Structure 1
Amino acid sequence: MKNQLKNILELNLALFIIATAAPFGNYISLPPALTIWSRCLFAFVAIYVYVKFKKISLKIDLSKEGGLFFLSAFLQAGHWITYFYALQLAGVGLGIISLFTYPIFTTLLEPTIRKTTFNPKHLLLGLLVLVGLYILTPVFSFGNQTSLGILFGVSSAIFYAVRNILMKSLVTNNNPTKLMLYQTGLIVVMLTPIFAFINIETASYTDQLYHLLILGVFTTAIGHTYLVRNFKNFSATSVSLLSCIQPLYGTFLGFLFLGEIPTLSTIIGGGVIISAVVLETYISKKN
């Protein structure tokens, strides 16, 4: 019992650390692609130092897994960039709740991608998520900033869902820390061409360098690696269920650091979405 409680507390610590991305994503005013490039660069350096210290093998079979490595990195980059757009446009509360539709998308997409059995109950839960999103959205229009932010959040959820499905086979055969090292490194390479298209103000970047360092080293390198390490203590269903607390962590951090007070529609819509996710994990656990 003590070990299980310890494992739950450690997993929640990892989720809380990752949730710090929400207020940082809202606070940092740099273009999201530049923010993610910087985040991954600092995370890559931190993880590389750790890998060398622990003498973790960096060998991978490019002929068998190279394609999955590149595709998963591309999806992770898309997930992070669209998520930061969601945070900047819709705020922390709506941004993080929109993202947390990803367990439902995972359930709906996994049977197609991995050729597993589809459970029709999942379709009803998907519709319940849409109801929650409808409550969250004030007046849906692509010209409405909040609506556009929610759309980015849902896009981020889809990127994340597909990436997590593809990562399952990679995690089976590779060290999680090594996976994060390659993934952050590949994202840095993929996003480097952005410098040809954006105008960077040195003063503005320098002013936010401290926050970018925290985002890269603390949130990404420590948080995400710590989360993956905790997978050995729980089933995937249990991790998904426990991760439902993360929107609350993100909303709390948004209130604490940004003074964002959740509206009634945010609370109700968020409650509907989180309820759907909890029901989904409960059904999956029974199966």
Structure 2
Amino acid sequence: FGKFLVLPALIIVLGRTVFGALALWGTLRLRRQSLRIATLRGRAMLLALGAILAIHWFTFFHSIQISTVAVGLLTYSTFPLFVTFLEPWLFGEKLRGIDVLTALFVLGGLVLIIPDFDFGNNITRGAFWGTLSGLSFAFLAMLNRKFVQSHPPLLMAFYQNGFAALVLLPFAFLIPWHLGERDLLLLIVLG
């Protein structure tokens, strides 16, 4: 979708999160599930997770737009490399040698797809943004892993998408964009 939509990455992500939140809200209402988050700490955590989700999707779509879909997907897929090193830090799990070895192979593969380390090169810039997408997704996955123990996953996804949209909304007024019918339809499907 990132290549089919002729919109800035920020607007794509805003649309994706708005329509995603609406779809999740409808699902929660159909299931008659409460939308209540009991604690202020829980609401603050969901706001932070929404901001991380916004960063993740923005960096992912930006990577695809400035390089290629393949570069965006391959570099986003570095998230397990980051998870390898975040798990011991966030959960106190033991860092295993096989995981470090696998991470080194992933890093080696990443180096192979970058033609040169010049930020004037679109592929290099796309790889940078895609790797940031992988890093932000790793943080999101690890924090969700902790939070899902006390909150229903659909409710978390609803609030994360909603908060991501709220975080992005002010920035939508700072950039030029036009939403055509085709783009609107694609955003609805993407959401």
TM range (shorter): over 0.9
Task: Give ranges in structure 2 of 5+ residues lacking alignment.
Answer: none
1:243-276 Cα distance to aligned partner (Å, 9 max, x none):
xxxxxxxxxxxxxxxxxxxxxxxxxxxxxxxxxx
Could you tell me how far apart the structure 2 residues matched to 1:199 and 1:99 are? 27
1:106 partnered with 2:83: yes
Q: Is the 8 A contact 2:47 2:159 kept in 1?
A: no
Could you tell me which residue of structure 1 aligns to residue 62 of structure 2? 85
Task: Give ranges in structure 1 of 5+ residues lacking alignment.
Answer: 1-23, 217-287
Could you tell me which residue of structure 2 aligns to residue 154 of structure 1? 131
Could you tell me how far apart the structure 2 residues matched to 1:178 and 1:142 are? 40
Could you tell me which residue of structure 1 aligns to residue 183 of structure 2? 208
Query: 4+ runs of 1 displaced by more than 4 Å?
Result: none
Q: Is the 8 A contact 2:13 2:57 kept in 1?
A: yes
Letter in 2 for 1:214: V
Alignment of 1:163-174 (within 5 A): 163-174=140-151
Could you tell me how far apart the structure 2 residues matched to 1:130 and 1:44 are? 34
Could you tell me how far apart the structure 2 residues matched to 1:123 and 1:51 are? 40
Could you tell me which residue of structure 1 aligns to residue 2 of structure 2? 25
Q: Is the 8 A contact 2:7 2:178 kept in 1?
A: no
Could you tell me how far apart the structure 2 residues matched to 1:208 and 1:59 are? 33
- Could you tell me how far 1:61 is from its partner in structure 2? 2.5
- The percentage of aligned residue pairs carrying the same residue is 28
- Could you tell me how far 1:50 is from its partner in structure 2? 1.6
TM-score normalised by length of structure 1: 0.63
1:135-160 Cα distance to aligned partner (Å, 9 max, x none):
11112211100111011111000000
Could you tell me which residue of structure 1 aligns to residue 97 of structure 2? 120
Match of 1:133 among 102, 106, 110: 110
- What is the Cα-based RMSD across aligned positions, in Å? 1.5
Q: Is the 8 A contact 1:68 1:166 kept in 2?
A: no
Alignment of 1:220-239 (within 5 A): none
Q: Which has the higher contact order (CA 8 A, sep 6+)?
A: 2
1:193 partnered with 2:173: no
Task: Find the residue that maps to 1:168 and give its secondary structure.
Answer: helix
- Could you tell me how far 1:88 is from its partner in structure 2? 1.2
Distance 1:130 1:69, change over 3 A: same
Q: Is the 8 A contact 1:102 1:158 kept in 2?
A: yes
- Could you tell me how far 1:38 is from its partner in structure 2? 0.8
Task: Find the residue that maps to 2:81 and give its secondary structure.
Answer: helix
Letter in 2 for 1:35: I
Could you tell me which residue of structure 1 aligns to residue 36 of structure 2? 59
- Could you tell me how far 1:117 is from its partner in structure 2? 1.8
Task: Find the residue that maps to 1:208 and give its secondary structure.
Answer: helix
Could you tell me how far apart the structure 1 residues matched to 2:78 and 2:95 are? 18
Could you tell me which residue of structure 2 aligns to residue 34 of structure 1? 11
